[in-house]
Structure 1
């Protein structure tokens, strides 16, 4: 495996993102990196990939270049390997939020909710309760299609289609969490960080965020108490608990997640359709897939 995949985010007040955008873009292009960097007034969120040398040079750039005035000196990166480049191009985007919740009062930079690390969470799940004897509830903050690829055993999944739906849904189901220790989780930590703060604001007492998300959990303790794989927003589609790309793919036509089992269906045609969209595509004489041919850059969340 020759490609290093980097994922990182940090909530921090950023005021010069318009000035930084062309400079970060140029540096990434000089290093031959591809992926997505999101910049917003509340912080940075990135998924990029390239050679080991280029990836480490980019880490050094963000942490130490005077341009950033030390904003990212403590930025923590999650790393995984892949045999090929999982991104098609390099994008640096300016956004209103690095993860959209539409709750401007939730500002993780001003104070995080308590976090639980992977070994501690595994110990809690092994014993069936936290260190105070309270039952532990795993709360998935990801979109429904991501959850379907894999999640923790017995997790609460409210089938949201986008993260901005989370506040309303959790208010509706608050009673599910009373008297329990709630651990919110997501792919890399960014969504569960906002989610945990919001739940604390609602008055839910025992709330934690999983430090580093599912990917950090895989890195530190493997797949204990987790079934399936973890969806990622790049061309690997999903990673197993060994942080290896799996056979799961996304449909070229409709972008639905297609499991290895579904790929064996006669309705799956690589590069065209899957069982989910075959009938619609077939009725349009192939126009559906061709219309999506250029829409193959996945967002970074």
Structure 2
């Protein structure tokens, strides 16, 4: 049994207008020196997943909120912590991108004024039990197969950019039936990005799980969850107690040729690193 200090994982995002994404990224690279992971910065905000010793994560999270170079842009950001047996990342990379989440529709921004209703983890159980609610998993099909909320629909998509077509194909039927679309994703960012478009362009009533599955696990222990939750780092999956499971990338992706590139990417993470 190793006596090495136990690492933790922190994921976060915030849609906020940034006038100088490159300047923000430069400062983040300085703040991440003791951590591993990936951070994206775009004119529409920030998204990140970092791993390291708890004290180093504490220092980073405090700086993100209070460092004057960020001009309070990240005040109120929500950090979701989970636990690690495997060190989740080896290196730290900070990238500047045109947008945080791309899903193939022009003119859609996470800064959209058409906001969805955010439902707390504590109120989620009551919402998804209603008969006038359709529960939609806003993730890829392989993630749904590993674990999902009871009664959640698998849209059957292999990439987030395929999700809008599924919603467009069902939107009218949902509206005619008077359904509210309750949707969720791992940390909340995919729902946040597409929710405004669903509401404004398709006229849907949309509610999203605040903070996603990770926040739900942290706040409730996962009473309505079945299975595990896929995470995009060396750990592969966590359980509702936010602990790493024994699930391997080979078990998640199997011999599906369409998912071979994901398996290859997971292997490149080098679990021994």
Give 1:165-180 correspondences, 5 Å limit: 165-178=162-175, 179-180=178-179
Where in structure 1 are there 5+ consecutive unaligned residues? 259-273, 281-288
Please name the residue that 1:122 is paired with: 125
Distance (Å, rounded) in 2 between the aligned partners of 1:20 and 1:241: 33
Q: CA deviation at 1:297?
A: 7.7
Contact persistence 1:7–1:48 (CA under 8 A): yes
Secondary structure of the residue aligned to 1:151 is strand
Contact persistence 2:36–2:52 (CA under 8 A): yes
What is the CA deviation profile of residues 111-169 of structure 1, one whole-angstrom value per residue up to 9, with x for unaligned ones? Answer: 321111111111234xx31xxxx522111111111111111122122111111122222
Bigger Rg, structure 1 or 2? 1
Contact persistence 1:184–1:195 (CA under 8 A): no
Distance (Å, rounded) in 1 between the aligned partners of 2:99 and 2:59: 26
Alignment partner of 2:30 out of 3, 26, 33: 26
Distance (Å, rounded) in 1 between the aligned partners of 2:99 and 2:35: 23
1:164 aligns with 2:161: yes
TM-score normalised by the chain length of structure 1 = 0.79
Say if 1:155 and 1:70 are closer, same or farther in 2 by CA, change over 3 A: same
Contact persistence 2:89–2:269 (CA under 8 A): no
Q: CA deviation at 1:249?
A: 1.4
Distance (Å, rounded) in 2 between the aligned partners of 1:22 and 1:207: 36
Q: CA RMSD in A?
A: 2.4
Instruction: Name which structure has the greater RCO, CA cutoff 8 Å, separation 6+.
Output: 2
Distance (Å, rounded) in 1 between the aligned partners of 2:137 and 2:107: 22
Secondary structure of the residue aligned to 2:111 is helix
TM-score normalised by the chain length of structure 2 = 0.87
Where in structure 2 are there 5+ consecutive unaligned residues? none
Distance (Å, rounded) in 1 between the aligned partners of 2:270 and 2:107: 31
Alignment partner of 2:18 out of 10, 14, 20: 14
Q: How many residues align?
A: 260
Contact persistence 1:33–1:48 (CA under 8 A): yes
Distance (Å, rounded) in 1 between the aligned partners of 2:147 and 2:78: 25
Contact persistence 2:18–2:43 (CA under 8 A): yes
Contact persistence 2:78–2:211 (CA under 8 A): no
